[in-house]
Structure 1
Amino acid sequence: MSLPTREALLRALDTVIDPELRKPITELGMVDSVEVDRDGIVDLRVLLTIQGCPLRDTITSDAGNALGAVAGVREVRVELAVMTPEQRQKLKEQLRGPGGERGIPFSRPGNLTKVFAVTSGKGGVGKSSVTVNLACALAARGLRVGIVDADVHGFSVPGLMGITQSPTRVDEMILPPVAHGVKVISIGMFVQGNTPVAWRGPMLHRALEQFLSEVYFGDLDYLFLDLPPGTGDIAISVSQLLPDAQVLVVTTPQAAAADVAERSGTVSTQTGQRVAGVVENMSYFDAPGGERLEVFGSGGGETLSRRLSETLGYAVPLLGRLPLEIALREGGDGGLPVVVGAPSSPVAQELERIAGALAAQPRGLSGLSLGVSPRH
């Protein structure tokens, strides 16, 4: 059997995706050398971004498998090294532009990422569960999705997503862990165990600003922010840092919950943001005998949708009503969102429908410069 060419080996390595940057290792300059000897033994030298790269074994395995599938390869030997400061700087400039430009990419003119701030009037309505499941449903459609767990005091997204890995830091740039195709960052990834975070307003604002400016998400189609309940510091910070973010309001059918949730929606009249819709959680429970029980009452989502539409002067739709199901709770406890772990369940199907409604909204081109000018 003839030996593979270097071009064939590089084509195989094009399929090896860095687990954090989500780009081919060949494109990221991580392939330092690849050679094959007369016996069909391939020696590959891969440059990691940092010495303690937590996914070094994954990269080694994926690269070995990709090269091992090339005709004529008998054995693959992978050597790992680390990028020099100059190589890391080049990588950062490749990812973020000249000089490794910092700032919040999602607030720059021309950015096409659709940002949704998921909020609620009170805690315990399932806001975080809705956030992670909508994100996972969109990622499963092949879209690029990220989550910022902005509920600094009550962070829960890492547990709901099954993330135990810490972010990787490349100098001042942070690479978020990826789970179920979604890039995630949370203050819970930087504290030990269940340590509480006792911060006041300015520190909360700075933490959110760092998540948005120092974490490399890449070019996203959708970014979800899981906000704390109510209309406090973080909600105000989001409106300042991401003025074009749209708001998704989560409530339960209970009238009292809808009353409180209305405040988290109408605060948009002060921040200038638009409310994209309402999601009603825990709407009903289908008993084994076929009886439908409205455990928390009924009509809260519809009432909230109507009130917000009247107050804001535009249609705020009720995007969906999620049934009360054990599968949703079990998925959250096990770190496997229900749309991934039990996609045929009624609650997963409704979440998929809501995600489809969000995906149907195209990334807007209004006001975007196309870099062309008419000829005279």
Structure 2
Amino acid sequence: MKKPTPLQQHCIPRIVAGNDVLGIAQTGSGKTAAFALPILHRLAEDPYGVFALVMTPMRELAYQLAEQFRALGSSLQLRCAVIVGGMNMINQGQTLMPTPGRVKVLLEDNPDIPSVFSKTKFLVLDEADRLLDVGFEEELRVHSAKKAYFYEAYEGFKTVESLKQQYVLVPKNVKDVYLLYILSKMDEMGIRSAIIFVSTCRDCHLLSLLLEELDQTAAAPILLATDVGSRGLDIPTVDLVINYDIPRYPRDYVHRVGRTARAGRGGLTVSFVTENDIDPVHETEAVIGKELEVIKYEETEVLADISKVYKAKRMATMKMMEDGFEEKTKERKAQKLKTLAERGLLKKHNKKRKRHRSAEE
């Protein structure tokens, strides 16, 4: 970093001075360093205990933030612990960038934990709009006794100029064939790695099995993700984002394509548009103030592998049934509903989700 971004220039002095700060800026604008550097600066003056608590809505981003804190705080021998769901609570309680639900459980179920946080000087809510929406608002409430300094470097849902945005009209029944075709061209396109966004966990799992059947390993250089991976993640080698499914809301499109063309680099996004996706695409174009460029492929060349893809799709579907994915999904959903019901939050949760969807629309 040779010079601060506008967000860092305005917010860092305020944080160092002890002000509450609310910062809003485009993706890739240096938000992590904007709060990490002043925290480390203050910690260096008087290092002790749990100095800062950083909350984020997803575990992948929690691990990424921890890596960045460790890198920036390496000269301080910084200790940084990640607290997420799905891991042993006793070990996490002993080690103490968490998710709100897990912190709430730790605080409620471990009487010694609150004292660990008693001298914490900083609370950071990363991706605060997601943290404070209906998904977490019962688990996380924030009150500030001081008037916060507010900085906004945000012009709505815009995409960067260095991003090339394309779409291809695809019949719904051959989306997988087009996907394989594009992935097979990655080397000659100079693509180092790609993220493929789909709408549901089920489709993500099925597509992963399909690509394995087709010998396209869904790891590096290909990452499959739902919208949980559309925010915050900074992977410099991502040159291509594929919207296998068109996102429901324009803001989700902006967050998805923001995983490439970061920090001034170039990038490419290709969206698969079926006959049912015309209206959402037009809405997205209106919001971002830019028309997507249509790209056409030679259909006979694309469909040359259609039999191979269809066979692989059948095998992938069979594998997903054999590994019990559907049953596990039903069990998780039932457990979530049971937990909400036990807390007396189910009706309230459903009403707020309905209001949230109406507001979005």
The normalised TM-score by structure 2 is 0.38
The normalised TM-score by structure 1 is 0.37
- Select the structure of larger CA radius of gyration: 1
Q: Which protein is richer in strand relative to its size?
A: 1
Q: Which protein is richer in helix relative to its size?
A: 2
